[in-house]
Amino acid sequence: MTIQPAKLSDPAVRAFVTAVNAHDRDAFMSLLTDDATMSDDGSDRDLDEWIDREIFSSNGHLDVANESQGGRALVANYRNDTWGEMRTRWAFTVADDGRISRFETGQA
């Protein structure tokens, strides 16, 4: 069962998934705070380098299986041209202005 991005509960997370799946880097970057951080499998990564490699240069795509914590935690099948498809977890911290200040991902 997949949750359509438009039906995700949290507006920032909904926009994040939509931007990833549309391969819209400008929209994606506009969702992040200026000092946004991220981690992959528990290790902090360079945000710009990671999103280029794992999302935009490799055709990343999220199919959300479920959400929790008011829509700020997802389990999704994530696929890209580098790694194929894998079950992943995503957690988002959303700042007061509605933009994402941190996201954490990793294998679920």
Q: What separation, in Å, do the N-terminal and C-terminal C-alpha atoms of the chain show?
A: 16
Two tokens at 22? 């549309």
DSSP codes of every residue in 13-59: HHHHHHHHHHT-HHHHHHTEEEEEEEEETTEEE-HHHHHIIIIITTT
Encode pLDDT of 42-94 as tens digits: 999 999 999 999 999 999 999 999 999 999 999 999 999 999 999 999 999 99
Q: Give pLDDT tens digits for 7-47.
A: 999 999 999 999 999 999 999 999 999 999 999 999 999 99
Q: Is 107 helix (H, G, I), strand (E, B) or coil?
A: strand
DSSP-derived letter for residue 3 is: B
Q: Note the pTM of the prediction, 2 decimals.
A: 0.96
Pick one of 3.40.1180.10, 2.40.110.10, 3.10.450.50, 1.10.10.10 as the CATH number of 5-107: 3.10.450.50
